[in-house]
Structure 1
């Protein structure tokens, strides 16, 4: 039996909103497995926010860049938010995003590529930046989308400078439409992606493991109703349709009018949505919680 620590209980509580004792029981039932504990809470109806995204726990910037038929997005992390306001750091992120347009989204290849305007690698430039600013930094991830005919539009939420912010989105639209109109639609879809947080482009793109996991949770919830098996299966079918409407971009309700489906908006424009990407700064990164008062007290004793 795995040891259930206070830190594990706290993390589960933050992610689900369930009570402390329920979180401890869920972790015990799942032998310390966090995702299993989340499922256990959902099945028991004790989790109000099991799908809540992880807390943003890292600083830095998301940067986007675009060219004819291509768009790139990168995330560069630093230790504090002060660095994100540093012009030198901002310029570095912008250059890395532009570099990704030609290099691609392999992070190691990006690090090895010659940094624009120098004779050394991007990683060496980053090392120099770390020495200058005095904080640890890393190029965490990158994404590049391309289209044969159309545009890859971008959107940055609450940008600190053009193309730089804490949430970035890329949208690949194939169409023979006028590029300016297509860019506008792509930007609107980017705003939708930033707000609605889709997980897949279309129903076929939904990961089978995620779908089966959802069906398992729904099946146990429906079984608790005491209804006949055939009725339960129909209930599950209806709820899976609702699930698709929540996580599939093309099936989601268009945030700009609250009525249309995204697929209807794209079809009306005569285009085809072939891909999207969404980066939120620090998502999925765990950051140690610190007690500032205790830290100061400890320093004063030293």
Structure 2
């Protein structure tokens, strides 16, 4: 026993110290890491300690860790109902020959509770997905009179997540896809999050409007697409283009507020037309062009558009509401939390 103690005493102190001294996180790097990643203090410390205060390696470690924890959480919540969330929109002016044209998108991102839908992280994610969809393929649909077309969700999920056009500080980190960021967000917020649908305007002058949130996301969203009758869109001067865009936004507001089902009376299915005892009243309620314009009930929507934008017309519109068509289980999330608490 004494011989063993003697051997331990004879070990150089520098050799012992290298095995017992723990790396301490650099406070400046810790602050920067938390600001950039929004992770907890303990997780940021762990990342720096494990990577010997190498900031780049710590970031990579956090990203990999977030994917692992997010994937585990996503698997656990996969069977839950995500009927809450946000409708997010994005618009941008893109250059074309002889001028510019507007380009607009709309997406629905779902979560389980209204509480999470109001979370800043979730809101930012929805807005960035809408911005990402602006870069999707946008050729006109062949043999179709539709100016708005659906974006395949499986394709959008694989796209690099872009910053929103309205963001002041644009991020340069486009390494993560939409899907990877959703998985990470599930790990952060602890709820099922799913991208349900997305659509893009393929041509025409378009504008978005959302209600029940901020300027780009809310509970109800809509897009209106207008087209000049007399000239090509590219031939309009700057003033006429601005007027058309402003008019399109007013119509998008109308769409969100009065929820029309059809653009023109001729779009109403014959069976539905015959089942209504008062066709004129039905058309005034459900046909966008026949509705009374919200800002001036003396005009129909079609009359307002023609007057406001020198004979232009509405060629398409879309209106989405969060969770429409999703069968929600009452108290689904609350019951699961209660069950988990009882199990512990």
Which structure's CA Rg is the greater one?
Answer: 2
Where does 1:223-234 land on structure 2 (aligned, <5 Å)?
Answer: none
Where does 1:67-86 land on structure 2 (aligned, <5 Å)?
Answer: 67-68=92-93, 69-86=102-119
For residue 138 of structure 1, report the CA deviation from its aligned partner: 0.5
Other-structure match for 1:280? 321
Cα distance between partner residues in 2 of 1:179 and 1:145 = 16
* Match 2:134 to one of 68, 91, 101: 101
Judged with a 3 Å threshold, the aligned counterparts in structure 2 of structure 1 residues 293 and 280 are, in CA distance, closer, same or farther, namely closer
* Match 2:267 to one of 194, 205, 211: 205
Cα distance between partner residues in 2 of 1:110 and 1:147 = 20
Deviations 1:28-49 (A, max 9, x none): xxxxxxxxxxxxxxxxxxxxxx
> How many residue pairs are counted as aligned between the two chains?
220
Cα distance between partner residues in 1 of 2:160 and 2:85 = 22
Cα distance between partner residues in 2 of 1:267 and 1:144 = 24
Other-structure match for 2:215? 162
For residue 255 of structure 1, report the CA deviation from its aligned partner: 1.8
Cα distance between partner residues in 1 of 2:210 and 2:86 = 11
For residue 81 of structure 1, report the CA deviation from its aligned partner: 1.3
* TM-score using structure 1 length: 0.66
Contact kept? 1:172, 1:276, Cα under 8 Å: yes
Judged with a 3 Å threshold, the aligned counterparts in structure 2 of structure 1 residues 192 and 113 are, in CA distance, closer, same or farther, namely same
Other-structure match for 1:124? 180
Cα distance between partner residues in 2 of 1:178 and 1:185 = 10
Structure 1: give runs of 5+ residues left out of the alignment.
1-56, 219-235
For residue 275 of structure 1, report the CA deviation from its aligned partner: 1.1
Other-structure match for 1:240? 279
Other-structure match for 1:190? 252
* TM-score using structure 2 length: 0.58
Other-structure match for 2:140? none
Contact kept? 1:145, 1:275, Cα under 8 Å: no
Structure 2: give runs of 5+ residues left out of the alignment.
1-81, 94-101, 138-150, 163-172, 229-235
Other-structure match for 1:256? 295
For residue 296 of structure 1, report the CA deviation from its aligned partner: 8.6
* Match 2:200 to one of 144, 162, 182: 144
1:113 equivalent to 2:159? Answer yes
Deviations 1:247-273 (A, max 9, x none): 111111112222211111111122221
Deviations 1:204-247 (A, max 9, x none): 333x3xx40452x44xxxxxxxxxxxxxxxxx5xx223322221
* Match 1:178 to one of 226, 235, 240: 240
For residue 181 of structure 1, report the CA deviation from its aligned partner: 2.2
Other-structure match for 2:46? none
Judged with a 3 Å threshold, the aligned counterparts in structure 2 of structure 1 residues 213 and 180 are, in CA distance, closer, same or farther, namely closer
Other-structure match for 1:49? none
Secondary structure in 2 aligned to 1:260? strand
Cα distance between partner residues in 2 of 1:128 and 1:139 = 14
* Match 2:122 to one of 89, 104, 118: 89
Contact kept? 1:146, 1:172, Cα under 8 Å: no
Secondary structure in 1 aligned to 2:298? coil
Contact kept? 1:103, 1:109, Cα under 8 Å: no
CA RMSD of aligned residues (A): 2.5
Contact kept? 2:206, 2:249, Cα under 8 Å: no
